[in-house]
Structure 1
Amino acid sequence: MAFAGVWPFDRTTLIRYRTRAAGPVLLGVLVVAYGVLWGVRHPAGPWGTYLGQAIGSEAVLLFTLALVLMSSTSWVESLFAGLDRAAIWHRTCAIAGTVLMLVHTATTSSGQEAPRGKSLGVVGAVGIVGLVLWAMLPRWRQLVPPFLRAPVERVAQSPGGRWAHRFLNGYDLWRNVHRVLGLFVAAGIVHAVLDATVFGGDPVLRWSLIVVGATGLAFYAYRELFARFFVRVHRYKVKAVEPIPGRDAQVITLAPQAKPLRFVAGQWAIVSIETKQGWSRNPFSISSSDRAGDLSITVKGLGDFSSSVDDLVRPGMPAVVDGPHGRFDRAHGTAEQVWIGAGVGITPFLSWARSLDGQLDAERVDFYVSSRGRSPFADELQGIADAHPNLHLHLHLVDTAVDGHLTAERVLAELPVPPQRLSVFLCGPQRMVKQLTRAFRRAGVAQVNIHHEYFSWR
């Protein structure tokens, strides 16, 4: 039952709210509680120095939380309703910690630690700032003021700028370098512990910081040194690499070499393939049926690996699959659902459609497929829709010069169901997902009934 079309008070919806909010709420509680601890037991002395020390300690806590979220353990995925959301909060904690670290540096006078401690502080600060700026590069247009975007764009289009983009935007390089974050955080923690003035002689503050830092470093050590012995992986071999006609994309089919991966349609996995240039590790949505023995992933030419699949990957190459991951599940929806897949974002919906067995669980599903020109999967999807009367397929051709982009208003105008009863599942370009999410919310679809995954983790 809905109140003003916004907050449905049924038990299932409340459980979904609670599941999505558990992780972020816990982060907020920890940050506030640590600030209260410093407020209660703050050392004597000028308030400016004390405040700078408290801000620095909060920065250490935020970096510790970032390292915990970076560990990608199963309980982190459950607590944050998916590793994609945990990755977003990892980035948020790292950015917030960096801001507080810079404020701490500007507001705190030089302590009494040994020169080695000061050097570690500089190394940690420079390293963390560099990694955070590198992680934010793909979103530079959102960060640069409008009057600077044109000059920056000209530099980016220069030969040197294009080389830098290819070098710095490579996922494999960024991921490997990003793994040293814990070392820079460790340098910052040691810097704080060696400063005799930070805690004002209060053992609670000193040991709380040591425990917080040690927790983060323990999770970092687990991820880097021991996780490989506990994470269950599945061994596959590349069976086929097939280009999708008219698209800069390929379908890679993997054949299991032992027990195949068990997954729920709509989930994704981390796929490592030993290519001509060595092992390449990337997350991909699974596009095959959850009952198929082989595993299929659809790869669009967007990054360093995906743009070179036709040159790097050949049948017979070994592959390792880590997963499954993700909480993009149509079973979490209401009886009336809308699926919108744009471009390569059709991938999880392909898995949903291919996994249908008999009657569709939902009373009505309207499936919108947005692509430039006819979707290469149109005939297959139409055959599936013909076998399921309550699956209504809308093959919208998106040509901005003719029809414009698919809008929430256009979708709702075609449906016989009020928005308050709908669940909306979105997958596609980040900008499209944000625009449609806002539009569906304004129309009355409850926030908890709008589902999507974050595919751009940087």
Structure 2
Amino acid sequence: MIRYRTRAAGPFVLGALVVGYAALWGVRHPAGPWGTYLGQAIGSEAVLLFTLALVLMSSTSWVESLFAGLDRAAIWHRTCAIAGTVLMLVHTATTSTGQEAPKGKSLGVVGAVGIVGLVLWAMLPRWRQLVPPFLRAPVERVAQSPGGRWAHRFLNGYDLWRNVHRVLGLFVAAGIVHAVLDATVFGGDPVLRWSLIVVGATGLAFYVYRELFARFFVRVHRYKVKAVEPIPGRDAQVITLAPQAKPLRFVAGQWAIVSIETKQGWSRNPFSISSSDRAGDLSITVKGLGDFSSSVDDLVRPGMPAVVDGPHGRFDRAHGTAEQVWIGAGVGITPFLSWARSLDEQLDADRVDFYVSSRGRSPFADELHGIADAHPNLHLHVVDTAVDGHLTAERVLAELPVPPQRLSVFLCGPQRMVKQLTRAFRRAGVAKVNIHQEYFSWR
């Protein structure tokens, strides 16, 4: 069985590059006041961050290894893009003068407007976390209006977002050309000029690779839709795919990018795999959240062709300690279903407490009870939040005969719940390195 490491050196590499590039501009600063030079240095740092965002957007195998999963790489991609946008705006504010506009100013404006638009769009799904408390009520009313609901469905569609997001590299290219044409950026220093050119060219090279050549190097697996089954009492379906050639080999808990030729054409979305890693067929659990997932019962029929790109992700129970806690809430139960269905006769852990949290009794409860009965070390806890209230870390720890310091905790579910549980487990003494989560909502 293939297993993957979970230590991620990627964030440290990003930090070293950002600090190192800032140090270069500091060392090359000519004698005299900083003035506009500081603004130009900030702008160049923004170019570096956008380049890093493009590198992470390339989804190459070494990026996935460096960040211990494409889901984490995607989060850092978003972080670099947002940080670069902030620095870009600071650069604009600190270098605007009444002097003659540089040759590339129009390109700079195009790049800045395009990047800001994409970043704001990327932040829309998390507006509740960003809007000040006193504005949440009126914004919520707008969001729940007919126009607001239509805008949510339109803008929250993964296919539309992905296709528009692909132009990020063009806006970054406009900004890079703007910087290179503006000779005042470098103060006549060839080291600064060529370092910026190399940084920008690196980002654009990765962008061109992703858009034009990556498709020739990515290995995909061809499937056909075998069944589309609704989950009783839930706004969700299970899509089962039958392999048409060699099936995908994956580790339970991983996810894949699944493309299905639906009635409206090809639709491409990332999904966690819910089937056993020993099964020939591939199953994914789809909850009605976006444009495709909300219309599965209308768009997808048995017999439709599908293409699977993967596997991806590093959500692997093998990296846990001998005593583990699994917590899956809502559609976040999906990777744990794959874990449970893939268990060998002997569970390779001294004790596992599996908490399944949902509003109403979980439709998978009977199946999971059967698996737990066959594995004495697996203890199943089915939580109906409508009756039992929301699951808390305090409740979990009170029910376990194991001290927090010996636990590994695996989490997947709504982002707010995962954050609250993570903080509570950390306060209780669970080591940070022993808390693992699946970032299934990384867009």
TM range, smaller chain: over 0.9
Cα deviation code 1:397-441 (max 9, x no counterpart): 545554211111111111111110110111111111111111111
Residue 272 of structure 1: how far off its partner (Å): 0.3
For residue 396 of structure 1, report the CA deviation from its aligned partner. 4.6
* 2:254–2:313 CA contact under 8 A, matched in 1: yes
Aligned partner of 2:6 among 19, 23, 26? 19
Displacement of 1:373 after TM fit? 2.1
Deviation at 1:90, TM superposition (A): 0.4
Q: Distance in 1 between matches of 2:367 and 2:387?
A: 26
Deviation at residue 302 of structure 1 after TM alignment: 1.2
Q: How far 1:285 sits from its partner (Å)? A: 0.6
Normalising by structure 1, what TM-score?
0.93
Residues 154-197 of structure 1 show CA distances to partners (whole Å, capped at 9, x for unaligned) of 22222222222221111111111001000000000000000011
Structure 1 162/136 Cα, relative in aligned 2: closer, same or farther at 3 Å? same
Select 2:388's aligned residue among 403, 413, 421: 403
Q: CA deviation at 1:25?
A: 0.6
Deviates more, 1:43-52 or 1:67-76: 43-52
Determine if the alignment matches structure 1 residue 32 to structure 2 residue 19: yes
Distance 2:395 2:275 in 1: 30
Deviations 1:43-91 (A, max 9, x none): 4664120000000000000000000000011101110111111010000
CA distance 1:291–1:241, change in 2 (3 Å)? same
Residues 357 and 384, structure 2, Cα contact 8 Å, conserved in 1: no
Counterpart mapping for 1:182-221 below 5 A = 182-221=169-208
Give 1:389 shift: 1.1
Q: Which runs of 5+ in 2 are unaligned?
A: none
SS in 2 for 1:281: strand
Number of residue-to-residue matches in the alignment: 443
Label 1:357 to 1:21 Cα distance change in 2 as closer, same or farther (>3 A): closer
Q: How many angstroms does 1:316 deviate by?
A: 0.3
* Structure 1, 276-285 or 145-154: larger mean CA deviation: 145-154
After the TM superposition, which of the residue ranges 32-41 and 103-112 deviates more from structure 2? 103-112
Assess if the C-alpha contact under 8 Å between 2:153 and 2:290 holds in 1. no
Contact 1:125–1:188 under 8 Å retained in 2: yes
Superposed displacement of residue 240, structure 1: 0.5
TM-score by length of 2: 0.96
Worse overlay, 236-245 or 373-382: 373-382
Aligned-residue RMSD, C-alpha: 2.3
Q: Residues 340, 291 of structure 1: CA spacing in aligned structure 2 closer, same or farther, 3 A cutoff?
A: same
1:360–1:397 distance in 2 versus 1, CA, 3 Å: closer
SS at match of 2:10: helix
Question: 54-63 or 402-411: which moved more?
Answer: 402-411
Change (3 A) 1:323 1:109: same
1:252 alignment counterpart: 239
1:25 and 1:40 map into 2 onto residues whose CA distance is 22
1:17 alignment partner, SS class: coil
Contact 1:271 1:322 in 2 (8 A): yes
The change in CA–CA distance for 1:16 and 1:295 in structure 2 (over 3 A counts) is: closer
- Bigger CA drift: 164-173 or 33-42? 164-173
Contact 2:72-2:439 at 8 Å conserved across structures:
yes
> Greater shift after overlay, 158-167 or 131-140?
158-167
The corresponding residue for 2:344 is 357
* Residue aligned with 1:21, SS: coil
How many angstroms apart in 2 are the aligned matches of 1:211 and 1:113? 27
Q: Which runs of 4+ in 1 moved over 6 A?
A: 14-18, 111-115
Offset at residue 371 of structure 1 (A):
1.7
Q: Is the 8 A contact 1:43 1:50 kept in 2?
A: no
Q: Is the 8 A contact 1:342 1:427 kept in 2?
A: yes
Contact 1:58 1:100 in 2 (8 A): yes
1:142 is displaced (CA, Å) by 1.4
Contact 1:59 1:98 in 2 (8 A): yes
Aligned-pair distance for 1:394? 5.5
2:412 aligned residue (413, 427, 432)? 427
Shift of 1:115: 6.2
Q: 2 CA distance for matches of 1:254 and 1:21?
A: 32
The change in CA–CA distance for 1:284 and 1:401 in structure 2 (over 3 A counts) is closer
Q: 1:236–1:320: 8 Å Cα contact kept in structure 2?
A: yes
Structure 1 Cα separation of the partners of residues 133 and 245 of structure 2: 54
The answer (yes or no) to whether the contact 1:334–1:423 under 8 Å persists in 2 is yes
CA drift at 1:372? 1.9
Hey, what's the Cα distance between the residues in 1 that align with 2:213 and 2:5? 32
User: SS of the counterpart of 2:59?
Assistant: coil
Deviates more, 1:113-122 or 1:216-225: 113-122
Q: In the alignment, is the contact (CA less than 8 A) between 1:69 and 1:90 conserved in 2?
A: yes
Aligned 8 A contact 2:353 2:380 in 1? no
> Does the residue aligned with 2:441 lie in a helix, a strand or coil?
coil
Kept in 2: contact 1:23–1:79 (CA 8 A)? yes
Deviation track 1:307-364 (CA, whole Å, cap 9, x = no partner) reads 1000000000000000000000010001111111111111111111111122111111
For 1:437, the equivalent position in structure 2 comes to 422
CA change 1:370–1:440 in 2 (3 A) is same
Distance 1:356 1:111 in 2: 69
Report the counterpart of residue 368 of structure 1 in structure 2.
355
Contact 1:241 1:252 in 2 (8 A): yes
Q: Bigger shift: 343-352 or 27-36?
A: 343-352
Alignment of 1:245-324 (within 5 A): 245-324=232-311
- Native 8 Å contact 1:38 1:54 kept in 2: yes
Q: Cα deviations across residues 270-327 of structure 1 (Å, max 9, x unaligned)? A: 0000000111111111111111110000111111111100000000000000000000
- Kindly indicate whether the alpha-carbon contact (under 8 Å) linking 2:3 and 2:251 is maintained by their aligned counterparts in 1: no
* 397 and 21 in structure 1: CA distance in 2 versus 1, 3 angstrom threshold: closer
How has the CA–CA distance of structure 1 residues 240 and 400 changed in structure 2, closer, same or farther, with 3 Å as cutoff?
A: closer
Task: Output the CA distance in 2 between the equivalents of 1:191 and 1:369.
Answer: 53
Matched, 1:176 2:163: yes
